[in-house]
Structure 1
């Protein structure tokens, strides 16, 4: 049986704790206790709670930034379609991490180590809205983004990707007929 390193175990336990109690609601002592090590051991591996969080989010944040960078050269509708598929794929690859980014936005995006994430989330919302400035369209994009993150966190994979993409496209791309008075 392969034993994970203490560092990997700290990251895994921290991810569970952050998902359960939020960034601010999780202490270094909480993480150390669950890992079965002292707070000093934890601090030997990571300088702070922010350092744990940053390392845990790094792969997802890097791919998030790459995804966002790819929209600049595309027209509004092409960028929107690419964003929907790309974001669904990103969420399915990094469910917990993306959930923390969206659930904890108000909590940790003020921290200097994470401030780069706010423009990425805002840009993605804009692209989901086909770069529209219409408040209702922007709100629909926010609802769809949040819905993707919320639904994907605890669902089985079979058919989930296609279902999430289909729902997002119907909600954002397909015009909804309005009743005529």
Structure 2
């Protein structure tokens, strides 16, 4: 009886997965095509067969996440002002961050140094437009700051921990905690009463 062998995954998919991990761990500048090839078990010429350059590989790595950011932006229009729809949007945003932790890590932590790369510039433009939609749809500075701090905080927590911390075992717990904390931030509290000053 012959031993069955599992066919190897698509080389382009493997190379994207390895490149994503290395770009997040060591930075785009710090990860060479040779390192990516070695880590994936291919030759450098194989990498260049599938991706014309390191920049083309980065574009391919980030494109699905950036396309999803665009969908999130389009899906947010007209929903931010309504409490229930805003809560749904927050869940969608956190699900996006959980799915694309490493991509978010690259965009957030390396975005400025990667300026000029079309996919990165597109991601940064969508993030700016998303923030601008808060300004037009939310009634007060307090509301806008709360939503901005909540979403940016969730993005920062996941993006900065994405490389070092494996949260796959507790993904449901992390998701629930992020939704809970961001939702709490979205509830404006009444302004604290001005304390009485005692005069002597």
Q: What TM-score bracket applies, with the shorter chain setting the length?
A: 0.7 to 0.9
Unaligned runs of 5+ in 2: 1-5, 196-200
Superposition deviation, residue 88 in structure 1: 0.5
2:78 and 2:133 map into 1 onto residues whose CA distance is 12
Number of corresponding residues: 181
Aligned to 1:66: 71
Distance 1:4 1:21, change over 3 A: same
1:107 and 1:65 map into 2 onto residues whose CA distance is 22
Distance 1:145 1:67, change over 3 A: same
Distance 1:148 1:15, change over 3 A: closer
- Scaled by the length of structure 2, what TM-score is found? 0.74
Aligned to 1:137: 145
1:168 and 1:25 map into 2 onto residues whose CA distance is 34
Superposition deviation, residue 149 in structure 1: 3.7
Aligned to 2:182: 168
Aligned to 1:147: 157
Equivalence map 1:5-154=2 (5 Å): 5-78=10-83, 80-126=86-132, 131=138, 134=141, 137=145, 140-141=149-150, 142-150=152-160, 154=166
- SS for the counterpart of 2:149 is helix
Runs of 4+ in 1 over 6 A off after TM superposition: none
Superposition deviation, residue 108 in structure 1: 1.6
On the 8 A contact 1:32/1:39 being kept in 2, the answer is yes
1:34 and 1:81 map into 2 onto residues whose CA distance is 41
- SS for the counterpart of 1:70 is helix
Superposition deviation, residue 49 in structure 1: 1.2
Q: Which has the larger radius of gyration?
A: 2
Per-residue CA deviation, residues 89-121 of structure 1 (Å, 9 max, x unaligned), is 111222222222222221224323431111212
